[in-house]
Amino acid sequence: MKRRKFCYYAALGSAFAFDVISGNFASAIYSKPSAKLVRKWVVLYWMPYDNDLSMFGELITKMIIDGTKESEASVVVQSDYSDETSMRRHQITNGAISRINVRLGEDSSDVSAFSAYLDWAHQTFEAEHWVVIVVGHGGKINEVSPDDHTATQKTRTWMQVDQFAKVISNFNEATNGRVELLFFQNCNKATLEVIYEARNCARYTLASQLNLGAPNYYYESFLKHLQNLSVGGREAAIAIMDAERLDMYHTLTLVDNQAVKKIPEKLSNVLQSILVAQLPTVKQSELPTHYYFGEQHCDLLLLLNYLSKVSGRGASELVEFTDFLRSSVITHYKAGGELYNYSPFRETSMQELCGLSLYFPKDRKAINRYSSLALYQQVDLKSLYAKILAV
């Protein structure tokens, strides 16, 4: 049954806020104004910079302004800076910038504020192609868009990735599937949990398996590239990847979300073949894990290859899954970045990584941490972790 949606921006207030905060995202709609600005491309930036990244906000905006001087794309940047009591919303077209009043306060970790931003964009523009980009810190697996509340001296709060993805999925549906690209311009968001959660947000998702730098420098070249008539979401993402400076990333991964939807079935086949009998001793010290925000991650294929090797099972299923991942899911992968001239791995080169990581619990208490996420509802990763941590 098609979900009902009933939000309207002019009367956003209590009804919409209640629905978003209570998790009833499917009740939100995007109202239709009498006239819209017609654009081929509209790029929406969400900039939660009420933290130590605030210093980069205006520099990024300046690069975006310069990029639109030779592009017909319209760009909107909604930003939240340190010590400011409200967010800014700037609409940028052909190098000209105009400021739009933001009604919903200063909390960029509030999913209702993000949803209101997308609602406003849908009312304002009629676009052939949309791009949604969130910048800033990455946080734990299910965290994005932090707000340090520096103006009110509160502690940091985060938006949940599953809430964030649900709002964009509703927006994508409202635009008839015209969101070409979602870019997590955050550290460590190319994880299987995150990309599967975002599978309905856009045709393609771009993210980094490891850390990203700031402020990044791809903006001008990317926006100019949107002028090309044949450009779609994949080409737009590759333009970002090719234009980025080497010192701003380690690796970048682009996934096709139609293929992402098939991951649970394909991955379950591998896990079932490996776990058909008891696992031998698993030496976690032999796994090339890395940490971000106190959580342990492991490259997906390196983990599966190790488990298949020590168990002596699942080799043919793993070959099939590897081919699926590299030929269908990951449609473009770029390694060779030189961020900080530092590798988070001791004995593993960036070239050995497949481009997607998986959360790896440090102990049995952490196994159920993300059981509410969509991937864990479809794939029995809890049994895998329980068997690994039991030996």
Predicted confidence (pLDDT) per residue in 358-378, tens digit: 999 988 899 999 999 999 999
Phi, psi of 79 (to 5 degrees): -125, 155
Instruction: Please give the backbone phi and psi of residue 330, each rounded to the nearest 5 degrees, phi first.
Output: -85, 105
Q: Where do the structural domains in the chain lie, given as residue ranges?
A: 34-259, 261-329+343-390
Report d(CA 209, CA 245) in Å as an integer: 17
Asked if 134 and 144 touch (Cβ cutoff 8 Å), the reply is yes
- For the entire predicted model, the pTM comes to 0.89
Instruction: Please state, in angstroms and rounded to a whole number, the distance separating the CA atoms of residues 54 and 64.
Output: 16
Instruction: Give residue-wise pLDDT tens across range 153-176.
Output: 789 999 999 999 999 999 999 999
Cα 82 to Cα 40: distance, rounded to the nearest angstrom: 33
H/E segment holding residue 323: helix 315-324
Taking residues 198-208, what's their average pLDDT? 98
pLDDT of residue 321: 98
How would CATH label the architecture of 34-259?
3-Layer(aba) Sandwich (3.40)
Q: State mean pLDDT over 123-127.
A: 97
DSSP letter assigned to residue 297: E
How far is Cα 53 from Cα 333, in angstroms, rounded to an integer?
27
Q: How confident is the model at residue 151 (pLDDT cuts 50, 70, 90)?
A: confident
